[in-house]
Amino acid sequence: MMKVKCLSSLLVLILLSLLVVSCRNFAFQERGGTNDEALTQLGINRRFVLDAEFNKLLDKLQLLDGEKQIMAYIRSVVTDPKIGNEFLRTYTNLEFSNLLNALGSDKVKEIIKNHLKDCKKRPPVISKTQALIDRFNRNDEVKRSFQSELNINSNYALHLKDLFSHDNPNYVYNEIMKDDCIDDLLEEIEDAQYILNYETLYAKLSIDDKKHLDFIRDVLMRVPTNIVLDPKKPFKIYSVYEFEALLGRMGVAKSEEIIRIHKNILKEEENAHKALITAMEGEMKQSLLRRFNKHQNGYRIHLMDLFVPYSGSGSNKNSVVYDAFKNSKYADEYIAIRNEALSIRVNKIR
């Protein structure tokens, strides 16, 4: 009987011990504990051992266990000279402690809340961006540029160090509070979708339309040496990415309409040229030929002019190039030259 009572008492003690441990673990996690799962949720991949002086400061700032680990992680980033470059400030441990002391408990806790918000928002956005890049039907400078940009934007430690790269504590605090760590990532998602839109457009074009679109792109990417630009007029040299993103932003229908307008201008150019061939020789024909050559040579500059509005800003920038094409009267001069050339031919026959 005595043996049974002892066993019962021992069992009760074991259960009580387990309950105490369980409660401690629960409280530990509630306070931002440092087991592996809790650390991951805090955006930390290892547990930091706090030195006595730093721990004393964090106690003074009334930080909980998990909050201390976050600040230890941030300190490990901003004091690491291998992160970033010479333009990003690298703190000493003392300088970082002085910064926290100057900020005070409330602001430090706000910084921690911002860190936790970032840790929650970033992973799904990074995954979505990578998924879009993986869908690119290419392996060129555009895809490499997107991947490089994502790699940079995914580097949270680099982003964090950049936010702390100032001597003024209040400036650091304000930069962190107004920062949204996923802004650049969201912009990259948007741009990646535009590139995919362009790939969809290009895939459905006929071989002839692809040649015309390539011609427009080449004009915008490289200024021909025989063209003299007006230094008083703005113009923009496009990269492959900028050109494709522009058309992807406009969409298939508007991009196809731009190609149609371009082809119509070339058609009227050909019609004018044919009319000039059969026109009666004389001063009037020579005058028309000079007009034709000048207009023909000016078309590349005209294309560049049509694409200049994109370099501006405004909520309607998606359609300004399209509107410029729709309002273009460049074909009208060819029509006028053709009609005048035909009138000479008619007079000759009579």
pLDDT value at residue 225 = 66
Per-residue pLDDT, averaged over 239-254, amounts to: 93
Per-residue pLDDT, averaged over 317-330, amounts to: 87
pLDDT value at residue 182 = 82
Per-residue pLDDT, averaged over 301-308, amounts to: 90
pLDDT value at residue 37 = 58
pLDDT value at residue 139 = 85
pLDDT value at residue 41 = 62
- Dist. CA 298–CA 265, nearest whole Å: 12
pLDDT value at residue 4 = 41
Number of Cα atoms under 13 Å in the Cβ half of residue 169: 14
pLDDT in tens, 11-51: 444 434 433 333 333 333 333 344 455 566 666 777 888 99
Per-residue pLDDT, averaged over 86-104, amounts to: 95
pLDDT band with cut points at 50, 70 and 90 for residue 174: very high
Per-residue pLDDT, averaged over 219-247, amounts to: 80
pLDDT band with cut points at 50, 70 and 90 for residue 320: confident
pLDDT value at residue 231 = 67
Better-scored residue on pLDDT, 345 or 58: 58
Q: Delimit the domains of the chain by residue range.
A: 33-191, 207-349
Closest CA to 320 of 331, 333, 334, 308: 308
- Dist. CA 310–CA 242, nearest whole Å: 10
- Dist. CA 249–CA 258, nearest whole Å: 13
Closest CA to 334 of 264, 286, 285, 282: 264
* Distant-in-sequence, close-in-space partners of 307: CB < 8 Å, separation ≥ 6: 220, 236, 238, 246, 321, 324
pLDDT in tens, 256-295: 999 999 999 999 999 999 999 988 888 999 999 999 999 9
Residue 198 pLDDT > 50, yes or no? Answer: yes
Residue 154 pLDDT > 70, yes or no? Answer: yes
Residue 97 pLDDT > 60, yes or no? Answer: yes
